[in-house]
Amino acid sequence: MTNLRRNHYHSYDEMTSWLQEVTERYPNRARLQSIGKTPEGRDIWVVSITRFERGEASDKPAYWIDGNTHASEVLGCEACLRTIDLLMERWDDEDVVRLMTNRAMYVCPRISADGAEYVLKNEHYVRSARRKWPEPHPLPGLNEQDINGDGLILQMRVEAPDGAWRVSKKDNRLLVARMPWDTEGPFYHLWAEGVFDDDAWGNPQKPVRPRDAHGLDFNRNYPSKWQHEPEQPGAGPYPLSEPETKAVVDFLLANRNIGGILTYHTYTGVLLRPYSDRADTEMPPFDLAVYKALGKRFEQHSGFKCVSTFHDFAYDPKKAITGVFDDWAYEQYGVHCFTMELWSPSKHAGLDYSKDLLGFWRDRSEDDEIALLKWNDGELNGEAFVDWQPATHPQLGDVEVGGWRWLYSFRNCPARMIEDEVLPTIEFTLDHLAALPMPKLTLRTERVGDLTKLIARTQNDGYLPTHITSVAAQRDLVNKLHLELELDGSQLVEGSTHLRIDHLAGMAQTSTVGFSSSHFGGRTQSHVDEHAWWLNGPGTARVTWWGDRIGKVSAEITWD
């Protein structure tokens, strides 16, 4: 057991202290390293988890999870911390012993360490980082800040006959869009809480809403169909321009034993899979079948759906999202990568957006808004909505300040709900980890006249093939595997001490992923191969099988 504060959102210092404590307490289970520094000097932490007494993490098939690509999506960090905690808690359970003996997990709890720290302290929205983008200087217009001194940045409204908002007749806390036939006021102007730039706008009574000054988006900065501003807002000046995203990619490229990935985001309650820019028909059939099989397992754990981003999660059907991490991880790194959108406020409020997952954010009705307020009053004990309170604005005079505390209602669940929210997905990540290749190497000898024939049997007992995906094999994203021979005492007569050998199939090449046995031939000897050397004289041989996605396994044999 660890002393993780469950159902709590951790600051950077709290997170760092806990990670250091766990890895110092369990050095044979977990090890901590920094894979880079943020511009504000914070470490980007990664914890490697395996049974180190049975080999290094780098020598085993491994899984990667991360959180907080987006600064305000702090629930993802907690899912990562709880994953570490849960593995420590279950360390002696049979299934965890089996997993952590033969495989490893890398956990990066907080990619946007600078942005998340600001959000946690201020409850002020930042996409990924506090760095100005796309403009190097603050844009003219509204500068969001706390006006009434309550420590929050909410909304402010000003009554005006030409206001574009009116009070709902069903709940006077709610403002709804004014329609042409709405003639009975009061009507309001509505803005984020803040102060206007007088020099730019002249008359602060009629400000123009500015672009987001902190619109840099790490999840548009990866080298997958990357497009620059303004075609892809938030993309940054070039792929991997940001130290945080570069640190992630550098680590993955340096640790090619990673065969599966899940990245935690919020806040729709859905598991997303590639592609972002193309239909499922463009994906190799085997990869799509595996994605769907793993997605079904996730649905069994969570009750949420697993969907294609392109088909079911497009913000604009006419414009694809580019520069996304899961697309890069699948297309350029060659593994199945999922994006987990934790937390569904619509589901908790009793709203059904299952047919249009993004409809909740772009097309809520007045009745939907009323349902959300009732959810706040009941399940959230009124904590997520601040009633409108009078305040004095330095430019506008009398205003009212109030509205949703979005950070712990819409963007993330209230802290007391963290445990229930993250556990189902953690269980899924362990299942995905279990699906990785399982390399097995055995040796035997046969006496043939005066010579000894040494035979190495390489076998994949895992669900996925050793190359993981079809796209990895087709695009040579993984190298051929290595088979190396070391001899002590005996002389090599025929064969090479270093062979480059082909990848092996896994159990997924069967009807378990939706194909009939006649299509693939079922489970065949393609998951097994044998390689031989001819030797003269007694001795000892050590054979090592290693390469991308499988790590390293060795076996030793002695003969007279």
Render pLDDT for 415-449 as a digit per residue (tens, 0 to 9).
999 999 999 999 999 999 999 999 999 999 999 99
- Residue ranges of alpha helices (H) inside 353-417 are 359-362, 366-378
Report which residue type is found at 297. Answer: R
Alpha carbon distance 245, 241 (integer Å): 8
CA dist list (Å): 548 to 12, 437, 473, 544: 33, 11, 12, 14
Supply the pLDDT for residue 409.
93
Assigned token pair, 437: 């290749």
CA dist list (Å): 208 to 134, 181, 230, 399, 424: 18, 25, 19, 18, 44
Name the CA radius of gyration of the chain, rounded: 28
CB 492, CB 517: distance < 8 Å: no
Supply the pLDDT for residue 70.
97
Alpha carbon distance 555, 543 (integer Å): 5
Alpha carbon distance 496, 489 (integer Å): 17
Alpha carbon distance 5, 13 (integer Å): 13
What residue has token string 């939706």?
Answer: 514
Supply the pLDDT for residue 239.
97
Find the length of the chain: 560
Q: Which residues does the chain have with pLDDT short of 50?
A: 200-201, 207-209, 511, 514-523
Supply the pLDDT for residue 519.
42
Render pLDDT for 407-421 as a digit per residue (tens, 0 to 9).
999 999 999 999 999
Supply the pLDDT for residue 200.
45
Comparing C-alpha atoms, which of 248, 254, 247, 246 is closest to residue 57? 254
Its pTM stands at 0.93
Supply the pLDDT for residue 539.
96
